[in-house]
Amino acid sequence: MGIFSTVTEAFPRMRGEKDFSFARHTTIGCGGTAAAAFSPSDERQLVALLRFLKEQGIAHCFLGAGANVLPAEGRFDGAVIRFDGFSRLRCEGEFLIAGAGVTGGRLLRFAREHGLGGAEFLTGIPLSMGGAAVMNAGVRGAHIGDLVAEVRGISDGAVSVFSHRDCMFGEKKSVFQSGIAVTEIRLKLERMSEKESLARAADFRSKRAHLPKGRSMGCVFVNPQGKPAGALIEACGLKGTRMGGARISDVHANFILNDGGTSEDVAALLALVKRRVYEATGILLEEEIKRIP
């Protein structure tokens, strides 16, 4: 019996999809397929699913909005776990509690409707709140981790609550990158008028207007201590370099654009950039993007 049938037989109410296409569910738009994807609807179902997959020896990976991942080509004989079932949003005073599957746009609208603001720097960044916590998403000077009071997640088969300190947020980093499933985040916002929040959002949006258009994963490398990775790549003369259907943006050298290429094209370009920047500067660039599965 295949993975899809094995899981849906054990969890008849679980939403799932057979032969899941990574290309269709990621912003870079390439990659192969997974045997199945599942969308648990609550923490109990997710805990039970993770336990079941472990017992059955079925591999899994997590996927949010797919905006910072490079999926492998070929067939993943495992299960993709999605978080669209975790879609609740609620307010408790100045705290906003969001399920892992809530998108940034929805969160900002909800906050505004409740007279809250402070997260406008997320404007225009494609993300789910789970993926945002995992990656500590943000812009220079403002990251989601700064607002996080608590995160709920599944660690070692049980629900845990992570305090701000437990989350260990850093530059594009958090403790959740160790395989913990994020289910909900609790943000401390501030009282703000709708007008003020909209003005801040417009300001952040205008600062993003120059970013490259097309299929990408956003910035692919973490900025090494005090130096923008894009400037290092540009200084090596790599802007516009192409490998198959993947190319380094002419606009921002830390963006790789995919014009109908494969994950292998993108991976080859990443390797070339790392090698050339290392040869020229002695700096080994660290990938910001996550490779899945």
Ligand X SMILES: Cc1cc2nc3c(=O)[nH]c(=O)nc-3n(C[C@H](O)[C@H](O)[C@H](O)COP(=O)(O)OP(=O)(O)OC[C@H]3O[C@@H](n4cnc5c(N)ncnc54)[C@H](O)[C@@H]3O)c2cc1C
Site for ligand X in 179-198 (CB under 6 A): 181-182
Using the minimum distance from each CB to ligand X, give the nearer residue, 134 or 270: 134
27 lines the binding site for ligand X (CB under 6 A): yes
Selected from 7, 53, 217, 236, the binder of ligand X by CB under 6 A is 217
Using the minimum distance from each CB to ligand X, give the nearer residue, 76 or 83: 83
Interatomic CA distance for residues 141 and 156, integer angstroms: 33
Q: How many CB atoms lie within 10 A of CB 270?
A: 21
Stretch that binds ligand X, among 44-52, 57-65, 110-118, 191-199 (CB under 6 A): 57-65
Interatomic CA distance for residues 151 and 186, integer angstroms: 6
**Separation in Å, CA 291 to CA 11, 31, 62, 83, 159:** 28, 10, 11, 18, 26
Interatomic CA distance for residues 145 and 135, integer angstroms: 9
Give 133's Cβ-side CA count (13 Å radius).
35
76 lines the binding site for ligand X (CB under 6 A): no
Per DSSP, the three-state class of 147 is: helix
62 lines the binding site for ligand X (CB under 6 A): yes
Selected from 80, 135, 185, 187, the binder of ligand X by CB under 6 A is 135
Using the minimum distance from each CB to ligand X, give the nearer residue, 110 or 204: 204
DSSP summary character for residue 222: P
Residue 154: CB minimum distance to ligand X, A: 8
Using the minimum distance from each CB to ligand X, give the nearer residue, 182 or 232: 182
Selected from 36, 132, 238, 273, the binder of ligand X by CB under 6 A is 132
262 touches 30 (CB < 8 A): yes
Using the minimum distance from each CB to ligand X, give the nearer residue, 39 or 128: 128
133 touches 185 (CB < 8 A): yes
Stretch that binds ligand X, among 16-24, 123-131, 184-192, 198-206 (CB under 6 A): 123-131
Interatomic CA distance for residues 268 and 272, integer angstroms: 6
Stretch that binds ligand X, among 42-50, 63-71, 197-205, 264-272 (CB under 6 A): 63-71
253 lines the binding site for ligand X (CB under 6 A): no
Interatomic CA distance for residues 238 and 253, integer angstroms: 7
Interface residues with ligand X (CB under 6 A)?
27, 61-69, 83, 100, 125-128, 130-132, 134-135, 137-139, 176, 181-182, 216-218, 290, 292
